[in-house]
């Protein structure tokens, strides 16, 4: 029997609509009590001034392992997740080879167990080799630990395949994540199509390239009664269509990234590839729609869409550089700046979108401080000021558009299954690999 008491923090648990000051007791890896907890504990963490949240859960992170270890490994990616406050992440199957079979899913979980950082739940491929042609063995993938299905950044362009995927995955009650993009409309584009793409002479990716695919997928989800998760939406018309579909009872959820809530397409005037991301940074009116969608609940979750790349790949001409932002370590401060400080969301709502809702989307019994649930806990210091320096990242990806920003708030402690895995900038597995 080991016990850990987190004393005097602000307990926030969206699953119980709880926001109060109190203690949290962890015993043998599970939550033993919250609120006014008395009695002995082996270890105590003083949490005054800190937020005590269910461990954050990321829905969409690339770990690049195996195949592109120069960009990220399971060890570095999960360390970055801890530093960002995440106790669990869903990893993308777009590795080389892809996670399109049971052995590959089990390898992802094994690598995470070796790393001993955070939990990793693989998203299995929807189609073999992510080619969009034939369904992957979804049943086998579920047996190997896959919690949902995705072809990563490859949109499922074939409507027939998407239909069958939504139908077939119903047997396992797992969602299909689709990246909404009509490739014919956005091919060889590097940024949002609009005034700034015209100004800069950069090829545009129109908003309609996203919303057309969202509309198609919603119609297929309605027809099949399958579970659809639309990843990283960025445009007004996507929000509108999803809102209508939810009202009509379609089983759809969706997510956004912090960078799409914070940066607009004018940033490309720097020609800096740190701002090159897919979907592209949109114009201000779209950003306003996303914030409205978060407030009214149309948008369920916020995910990092962590896309790490080595410096030599990213530091290239704009059309040669790959799309993506290494986002895991900056989610919290950017959300605080863009959502909490302006008063768009309360802390209860933000943690819902970073923990409780993602758990529900992935079918995990997490995202809660209820008694007897797994002790995945994140302590957040909401006030600490720091400057984002990619050289300090745990991730191998240094590609952030937020370099040099002075921000507020970061993870203080991350507890995974009752063990302190991250504490004030230190990764436990790095201090003592045997832990």
Partner 1 sequence: MSTERPSRVWNRKHILGLEELSAEEITQILDQAAEFKQQTKEGVLKLNSLRGKVVANLFFEPSTRTRTSFGLAAKRLSADTVDFSPSGSSLSKGETFIDTAKNIEAMGVDQVVVRHMTPGAPHLLSKHLKASVLNAGDGTHEHPTQALLDIFTIREQKGTLEGLTVTLVGDILHSRVARSNIWGLKKLGARVIVCGPSTLIPRDITQLGVEISYDLDAVLPETDCVNLLRVQFERQRSAFFPSIREYAHLFGLNTERASRGKEGMVVLAPGPINRGVELSTEVADGPHSVVLDQVTNGLLVRMSCLYLLNQYQDRQAERGDS
Q: Which residues bind partner 1 (CB under 8 A)?
A: 187-188, 194-195, 197-203, 270-271, 312, 315-320
Q: How far is the CB of 273 from partner 1 (least distance, A)?
A: 9
287 vs 416, which CB is nearer to partner 1? 287
42 vs 319, which CB is nearer to partner 1? 319
* 381 among known catalytic residues: no
45 vs 287, which CB is nearer to partner 1? 287
42 vs 195, which CB is nearer to partner 1? 195
36 vs 317, which CB is nearer to partner 1? 317
Q: How far is the CB of 190 from partner 1 (least distance, A)?
A: 8
Q: How far is the CB of 201 from partner 1 (least distance, A)?
A: 4
Q: How far is the CB of 276 from partner 1 (least distance, A)?
A: 10
Q: Which residues of 369-405 are buried (b: 16+ CB within 10 A; e: fewer)?
A: beeebbbbbbbbbbeeeeebebeebbbbbbbbbbeeb
Q: How far is the CB of 184 from partner 1 (least distance, A)?
A: 9
Count CB atoms within 10 A of the CB of residue 83.
Answer: 24
Q: How far is the CB of 285 from partner 1 (least distance, A)?
A: 13
**Cβ(72)–Cβ(308) under 8 Å?**
yes
160 vs 184, which CB is nearer to partner 1? 184
35, β-bridge pairs: 23
**Token pair for 96:** 């080389």
262 vs 273, which CB is nearer to partner 1? 273
35 vs 195, which CB is nearer to partner 1? 195
Annotated catalytic residue, options 217, 305, 352, 376: 305
Q: How far is the CB of 143 from partner 1 (least distance, A)?
A: 42
Q: How far is the CB of 403 from partner 1 (least distance, A)?
A: 13
- 3-state SS, the chain, equals CCEEEEEEEEEEEHHHCEEEEEEEEEECCEEEEEECCCCCCCEEEECCCCEEEECEEEEEECCCCCCCCCCCCHHHHHHHHHHHCEEEEEECCCCCCCCCCHHHHHHHHHHHHHHCCCEEEEEECCEHHHCCCCECCHHHHHHCCCCEEECCCCCCCCHHHHHHHHHHHHHHCCCEEECCCCHHHHCCCCEECCHHHHHHCCCEECHHHHHHHHHHHHHHHHHHCCCEEECCCCCHHHHHHHHHHHHCCCCEEEEECHHHHHCCHHHHHHCCHHHCCCCCCCCHHHHHHHHHHHHHCCCCEECCCECCCCHHHHCCCCCCCCCCECCHHHHHHHHHHHHHCCCCCCHHHHHHHHHHHHHHHHCCCCCCCCCCCECCEEEEEEEEEEECCHHHCCCCCCCCCCCCCEEEEEEEEEEECCEEEEECCEEHHHHCCCC
Q: How far out from the chain centre does Cα 72 lie?
A: 16
Q: Which residues are catalytic?
A: 305
């Amino acid at each position: 029997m080991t016990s850990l008491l987190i004393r005097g923090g602000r307990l926030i648990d969206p699953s119980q609509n709880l926001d109060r000051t109190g203690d949290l007791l962890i015993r043998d890896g599970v939550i033993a009590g919250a609120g006014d907890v008395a009695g002995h504990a082996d270890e105590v963490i003083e949490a005054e001034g800190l937020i005590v949240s269910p461990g954050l859960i990321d829905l969409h992170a690339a770990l690049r392992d195996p195949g592109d270890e120069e960009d990220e490994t399971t060890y570095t990616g999960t360390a970055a997740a801890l530093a960002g406050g995440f106790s669990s992440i869903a990893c993308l199957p777009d590795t080389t080879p892809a996670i399109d079979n049971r052995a590959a899913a089990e390898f992802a979980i094994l690598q995470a167990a070796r790393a001993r950082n955070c939990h990793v739940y693989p998203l299995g491929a929807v189609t073999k080799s992510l080619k969009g042609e034939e369904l992957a063995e979804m049943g086998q993938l579920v047996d190997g630990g896959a919690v949902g299905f995705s072809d990563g950044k490859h949109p499922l362009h074939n409507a027939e395949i998407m239909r069958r995927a939504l139908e077939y995955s119903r047997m396992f009650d797992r969602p299909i994540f689709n990246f909404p993009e009509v490739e014919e409309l956005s091919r060889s584009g590097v940024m949002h199509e609009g005034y700034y793409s015209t100004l800069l002479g950069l090829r545009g990716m129109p908003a309609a390239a996203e919303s057309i695919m969202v509309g198609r997928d919603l119609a297929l989800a309605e027809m099949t009664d399958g579970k659809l998760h639309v990843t990283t939406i960025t445009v007004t018309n996507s929000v509108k269509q999803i809102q209508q579909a939810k009202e009509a009872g379609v089983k759809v959820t969706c997510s956004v990234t912090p960078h799409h809530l914070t940066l607009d397409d004018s940033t490309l005037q720097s020609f800096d590839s740190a701002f090159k991301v897919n979907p592209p940074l949109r114009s201000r009116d779209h950003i306003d729609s996303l914030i409205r969608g978060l407030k009214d609940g149309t948008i369920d979750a916020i995910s990092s869409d962590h896309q790490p790349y080595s410096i030599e790949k990213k530091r290239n001409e704009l059309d040669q550089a790959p799309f993506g932002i290494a986002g895991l370590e900056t989610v919290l401060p950017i959300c605080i700046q863009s959502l909490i400080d302006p008063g768009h969301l309360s802390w209860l709502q933000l943690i819902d979108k970073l923990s409780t809702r993602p758990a529900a989307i992935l079918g995990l019994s997490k995202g809660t401080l209820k008694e007897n649930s797994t002790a995945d806990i994140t302590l957040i210091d909401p006030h600490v000021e720091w400057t984002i320096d990619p050289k300090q990242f745990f991730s191998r990806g240094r590609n952030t558009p937020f370099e040099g920003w002075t921000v507020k708030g970061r993870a203080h402690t991350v507890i995974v299954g009752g063990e302190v895995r991250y504490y004030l900038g230190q990764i436990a597995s790095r201090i003592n690999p045997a832990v």
